[in-house]
Amino acid sequence: MQETTRTISLREITADTVRAVCKLTAEPSGFVAPNAMSIAQAHFHPNAWFRAVYADDELVGFVMLDDSALLPEPPAEPEVGLWRFMIDAQHKRKGYGRAALRLVIEHVRRTHPTLERFLTSCVPGPGTPRPFYESLGFVFTGEVDEGEEVLALDLRPTRDRGQG
Ligand SMILES: CC(C)(COP(=O)(O)OP(=O)(O)OC[C@H]1O[C@@H](n2cnc3c(N)ncnc32)[C@H](O)[C@@H]1OP(=O)(O)O)[C@@H](O)C(=O)NCCC(=O)NCCS
């Protein structure tokens, strides 16, 4: 199992970094929208929370959450899903994705202490990132949403699981 020794962090995107974030490329393509598209969408979706991923001080990726608690009128039981996630092609398979997703999960736990599950979805087929998510504990829910397989990470303390 590849664990990085570099320090992975999630940082706000600024006027100085937005162009570089838009130039990051996902490989294979087809599993995630271009970052420029995501940042443009985030501008119109108050439920979007997004950050750049850094390895030490090097920009390596992008993440965006769909957090319904951020809506002007949040639902009584908000849901949080991983909307976009990518590590630049030249930085893949160095353990950065796993370390970044762990930070994202910590962020979700911290901001939603009672949330029971954190969702993601992925396009099936060759090159699908599904095994990556499964290696972090996500489980296929059996649901397929607009052609994407929905996976969930159980956030409940172990003692509370299996009780409904
Ligand atoms: C999927 C992605 C975010 C993973 O990031 P990464 O930095 O390459 O992943 P890591 O190096 O942390 O890998 C963690 C583990 O997942 C595995 N893994 C990573 N990507 C995988 C993939 N596409 N398929 C199968 N396993 C994968 C690695 O082999 C590693 O396992 P190991 O340590 O047992 O060898 C990255 O490859 C990517 O951006 N892919 C293209 C875009 C994409 O699919 N985004 C997700 C949209 S839902």
Which residue puts its alpha carbon closest to atom 19 of ligand 1? Answer: 132
Per domain, the residue ranges of the chain are: 8-160
Which residue puts its alpha carbon closest to atom 34 of ligand 1? Answer: 1
Please report the pLDDT score of residue 151 as a whole number: 98
Which uninterrupted H or E stretch holds 58?
A: strand 58-67
Which residue puts its alpha carbon closest to atom 36 of ligand 1? Answer: 87
> What average pLDDT values come out for the chain (164 residues) when binned by 10 residues?
90 98 95 97 98 98 98 96 98 97 98 96 94 97 96 90 67
Question: Cα separations (Å) of 7 from 49, 55, 60, 138, 152?
Answer: 21, 6, 12, 24, 26
Q: Does ligand 1 lie within 6 Å of residue 95's CB atom?
A: yes
Please report the pLDDT score of residue 144 as a whole number: 97
Q: Give the 3-state DSSP-derived string for 80-119, with helices as H, strands as E and coil as C.
A: EEEEEEEECHHHCCCCHHHHHHHHHHHHHHHHCCCCCEEE
Please report the pLDDT score of residue 85 as a whole number: 98
Please report the pLDDT score of residue 159 as a whole number: 78
Query: How many Å lie between the centroid of ligand 1 and the Cα of residue 71?
Result: 30
For the domain spanning 8-160, the CATH number is: 3.40.630.30
Atom of ligand 1 nearest to the CA of 27: 41
- Which of 91, 132, 146 to mutate to test ligand 1, by most ligand atoms within 8 A of the CB atom? 132
| Local structure of residue 7 (DSSP, 8 states) | P
Which residue puts its alpha carbon closest to atom 3 of ligand 1? Answer: 86
Please report the pLDDT score of residue 158 as a whole number: 81
Rounded Cα distance between 54 and 57, Å, is 6
Please report the pLDDT score of residue 77 as a whole number: 93
